[in-house]
Structures are given as structure tokens and as C-alpha cells.
Amino acid sequence: MPRCLLLMSRRSSCVASPPRPVLVLLCVVAVSGAAAGGGETAGCDVSLQDVNNLTLNCSRRGLHTVPTTWPQKIENSVDKDGDVRVTFFNNSITNVTELPSVPGNRIAIIFKSNAIVEIEDGAFSNIQRLVYLDLSNNQISGDVLRSEIFQGPYNNTVYNSIALETLNLGRNQIHSLDRYLFQYTPNLTRLYLNNNPFEILDHVTVLALSSATNLQVLDLSKTDIDSIPLDAFRGLVNLQQIDLSGNKFVNVPESLSIVGSTLQYLTFNNNPIVELNDDSFVGLSNLLELEVGENRYLEEVKRGTFTPLKKLRILHLCHNSNLRYISHNAFRALKDKWTLKEVYMDDNNLSELSADLMPWSQLKILGMTGNSWLCNCDLAEIITKQEAGTKFKDGDIPYCAAPMKYAGTYVTNISMAFCPTFDSTFANKRGFSISNLRPKHVLWSIFGVAVVVCIGMLVGLLVNTIKAFYNKKLRSQPIRYINLHSDTSYA
């Protein structure tokens, strides 16, 4: 029983007791202080879905420190091979100290949205089966992050590794990573560094990233970078997904080609890029899904842009407010071996598309809403003859913006009826023979030959006459030189 309750139950005749309301107030303060103090988890809720799934919810409890013990219930409630999720979301923890051991085989710990500025060495050494750690939305700097944080138990003069697979460091104050940061996390496959003020990927950060050789997912969105050194991805032989959104790239970084044989998903939204061209995606031959959206400076998609993407299945080219032109050869060399199934071109500044841009009938889903479409013959052919009108999702049918008589109507309502048609039937070609000639044809042929011969003769005579006149009248006589000693006429 709390001390304050004992005081309330006892009365002394020799000592004056405080007034009863004061005792009640002291009791409330003492109990609340015990619940919120470091090392106590009385306020945490244990939620058991089954013996394989347990959640220890310590979120929004006003905690300032990490507990030193867990509720007894957690030890006996989860199977040794079960999953345990421990959440400290939205508290006031500033320092992550060593956590007590957690039962279970796969453990996730979430420290999202605290005020963390320090993490002690070996903070997770008692939780060797920690596979998911979320430290996002705190005040962690690059100096705080070091390899010793992720050390496992000390054994035979060395520190063991931990099982960490996913590490979320998004929304902190990180400018650089320690070179050896991932020394004790060999199983790391997903790393989130988004919303950190990196600005540049310096040499030690590049070394840290390239050392995470099992990395499959990398999020570098909103990190203020404008380039990626080639060496940054050189060791990432398993990288499958990368997000470069919200940065300052004016070109798709060439360094992506280093991981082109494994990269399958690329997100490249909200960058100050002006055009996409045949150099943009060189080497990305295994890319399955590409997202290029919200690039407000993007104006053109040029010839051969998507040619390197030989396995592309899904293309998101949306919300580019100035995108007005897509070359009819943007998919050059892909049309014979077409792999695209979903194409989204919503909310751009497009008005026209070429009918031969792609084999429209081979798509499964097509998005074109939010553009100012000119419903001309090309669009009519795309929608009707090439069956693109059957690829729209329900409720996502685009409208015509022009010409006036079609403005505001669905593009699926236009037809080829108003487009000019040409007679494509021709008479069979016949072989030529002498019998096809007529007398007038022979006469005109002889006359034509005679005229040509006469003209040639006249031109020849005229040329000879001019030459003779020139030689006789106009050409200067040569100066003759004589020898006075040998010429007897002057003797």
C-alpha cells in the first residue's frame, strides 16, 4: 500500500495530523509520480492477439526514460518463437539506455516521435532478436549514431551482431553517417534516411552505405542532395528499391546504373528536372516500376527515354504540371517486346498524344485524367481503334477540352466518324508490254528525241562559232623575240 494511504489510515494523539484534503493531494502526487517514473511500466498495456503475437504499448505515457523492467505478464504470454512489438511512440524520452531482454523470436521496437538526442552503447544488446527498429522523428544527429549502439552480447572477446533487418532513421538531424555504423547489423535490408539534412553524401557516408551489402530498400527522399557518387552503390548488390523524391536532382543520377541489374522500383518525384531523355534511365534494364511525378519543371519526355527499361510493368507519370510533350518515339525499340501493363499520365499539361506512342490495346490499366485533351483524330484512334477506352478505371474517364463542340464530354464519346478517310484500295499493277504502246506514243517519242538532238547540234555550233571569233579577234597576239646577231635582215 502506498505510504500516503498508510498515513491516512493512522491517527496519532500526540502528533497533529495534516488536514484530510492535503493528504489526498499528496497521495495523488505520489501515485502519479510512481507511474511516470523511469524504470516503471505500470502504465503500459499488454495486448495479446495470440501466443505468437504480443504488443507492449507504452505510447503516450509521458515517459522520460526507458523502463528497466517489463511487466511480468509479458514473460509468460508469448511463445519463444512469437512476434513482440514494443511501442514508445510520442513520449518524452531523450536518452535510449540499455533495454531489458524481451522474449520472442522477432521483436520490433518503436521510438518514433520522442525527443531522443542520445543512445547508449549496447542499448539493444539484450535484444539480439531485434529485427525492426524505428527511431524516426527525433533529434538524433550523425555524431550520436555509431556502430557500438548496435553491438550484441559480448562473447569470447568480441561483440556479436544483432538480427536487425529494418532501421528507420527518418526525420532526424543527420548530416553524415559513421563509416562503421552497420558493422554489427549484417542482416540490414531496409534503411530509411528520409527527411534528414544530408545535402551531400560525403565520403564516410558513402563508405557506410556501401558496407550494408544486404540492403534491398533505401529511402533517401527529402535529404537535399543533388548528386550521388558512383561509389555509394557499388557494394549494394542486392538493392531492389530506392526513393530519391523531394531532392535537387536536375538529372536522373548516373550512379543508378551501378545497381541496374537488381533495381526494380525507382521513385523520382518532386525534383527540378526539366526533361527526360535517352540518357535518363540507361542501365536500368530490370526496373519493374517507375514513378516520376510532381516534378513541376518537367516539360518534355524525349525520344528513346524509356528504351532501356526492357522489363517495365508500371509507369507513373503523374502530377507534372508543366509536362506538355511526350515524343512518339519515347518507347522506341520496346513496342515489339511490350511489357508495360499499367500507365498513369494523370494531372499533367498534356493535350495531344501520338497514336503510335505505344500499343495501347496491350495495356490493362490506363490513367489520363486531369489533362486538357484535344479530341482530334489521333486521340479518337487511340480510344476507339486501339481500344484504350476500355482501359480506364470506373470514374476515371478523362474529358475533352477542345474542340468546342466536344468540350466537357468524355473522350470515350468521340469516334472516328469526324476524321477524314482515305480510299486504301488500289488497282492491281499490270506488267508492261509492247502491245500497250499506241501510235501516238511512238510519234511523240520520236519527236521528243529529234528535238533533243537538234537542240544539241545548235548548241554545239554556237559554241564553236564563239570560240573561233574569240581566237581570231579577241585573243592577244604573242610577242615574238629575235636575236639581232643571228638575224641577217638587220645587217
- In contact, 137 and 173? CB cutoff 8 Å: no
Give dist(CA 434, CA 419) in Å, integer: 44
Phi, psi of 122 (to 5 degrees): 65, 25
Give CA–CA dist 235/259, Å, rounded. 9
Between these two residues, 462 and 65, which has the higher pLDDT value? 65
Residue type, 315: L
Rounded to an integer, the average pLDDT of 170-180 is 97
Lowest mean pLDDT among 104-118, 266-280, 429-443: 429-443
Average pLDDT, the chain: 86
Cα separation, 90 vs 134, in Å, equals 12
What pLDDT digit, counting tens, does each position of 370-426 carry?
999 999 999 999 999 999 999 999 999 999 999 998 899 999 998 877 676 544 444
With cut-offs at 50, 70 and 90, classify the pLDDT of residue 356.
very high
Domain spans of the chain, in order of start = 240-345, 351-421
Q: C-alpha cell of 205?
A: 557516408
Identify whether the C-beta of residue 380 lies closer than 8 Å to the C-beta of residue 415. yes
**Predicted confidence (pLDDT) at residue 229 exceeds the cutoff of 70:** yes
**Residue that wins the pLDDT comparison between 442 and 85:** 85
The answer to whether 49 and 79 have CB atoms below 8 angstroms apart is no
Q: Which residues are registered as beta bridge partners of 218? A: 191, 242
* pLDDT over 90 percentage in the chain: 66
Backbone angles phi, psi at 316, to 5 degrees: -105, 110
Mean pLDDT over 1-11 rounds to 40
Neighbours of 99 (CB within 10 A): 22
Least confident of 32-36, 73-77, 164-168, 211-215: 32-36
pTM of the model: 0.77
Query: Which residue type, as a one-letter code, is found at position 304?
Result: G
Task: Return the pLDDT at 486.
Answer: 57
User: Could you give the CA distance from residue 198 to residue 177 in angstroms, rounded to a whole number?
Assistant: 9
- Assess contact for 261 and 287: CB atoms under 8 A: no
pLDDT above 50: residue 34 = no
Which residue in 96, 269, 61, 228 sits closest to 169, CA to CA?
A: 96
Confidence of residue 13 (pLDDT cuts 50, 70, 90): very low
What string of H, E and C letters represents the secondary structure of the chain? CCHHHHHHHCCCCCCCCCCHHHHHHHHHHHHHHHHHCCCCCCCCEEEEEECCEEEEECCCCCCCCCCCCCCHHHHHHCCCCCEEEEECCCCCCCEECCCCCCCCCEEEEECCCCCCCEECCCCCCCCCCEEEEECCCCCCECCCCCHHHHCCCEECCEECCCCCCEEECCCCECCCCCCCCCCCCCCCCEEECCCCCCCCCCHHHHHHHHHCCCCCEEECCCCCCCCCCHHHHCCCCCCCEEECCCCCCCCCCHHHHHHCCCCCEEECCCCCCCEECCCCCCCCCCCCEEECCCCCCCCEECCCCCCCCCCCCEEECCCCCCCCEECCCCCCCCHHHCCCCEEECCCCCCCCCCCCCCCHHHCCEEECCCCCEECCHHHHHHHHHCCHHHCCCCCCCCEEEECHHHCCCEHHHCCHHHCCCCCCCCCCCCCCCHHHCCHHHHHHHHHHHHHHHHHHHHHHHHHHHHHHHHHHHHCCCCCCCCCCCCCHHHC
Q: What pLDDT, on the 0 to 100 scale, is given for residue 488?
A: 54
Indicate whether 1 pLDDT > 60: no
194 vs 422 pLDDT, higher one: 194
Mean pLDDT to the nearest integer, 359-370: 97
Q: Which CATH fold would you assign to the domain 240-345? A: 3.80.10
Instruction: Find out whether 241 and 265 touch, Cβ atoms under 8 Å.
Output: yes
| pLDDT tens per residue, range 265-295 | 999 999 999 999 999 999 999 999 999 999 9
Measured in whole angstroms, the distance separating CA 260 from the mean position of its chain's CA atoms is 13
- What pLDDT, on the 0 to 100 scale, is given for residue 445? 81
Contact 164, 191 (CB under 8 A): no
| Confidence label for 8 from pLDDT (cuts 50, 70 and 90) | very low
Rounded Cα gap, residues 477 and 178, in angstroms: 98
**Beta strand 365-367 pairing with 106-110:** unpaired
- pLDDT in the model for residue 463: 81
Does the structure show a pLDDT above 50 at 438?
yes
**How far is Cα 391 from Cα 389, in angstroms, rounded to an integer?**
6
Mean pLDDT (whole number) for 424-436: 53
294-301 average pLDDT score: 97
**For residues 160-188, average pLDDT:** 97
Q: Which three cell numbers stand for residue 342?
A: 499499367
- Which of the residue ranges 8-17, 306-315, 409-418 has the most confident prediction, judged by mean pLDDT? 306-315
pLDDT at 23 over 50: no
pLDDT number for residue 423: 44
**Structure-block grid coordinates of residue 429:** 499493277
Query: Tens digits of per-residue pLDDT, 35-93?
Result: 444 444 447 888 887 768 899 999 999 999 999 888 887 877 777 788 999 999 999 99
Residue 9: what pLDDT?
40
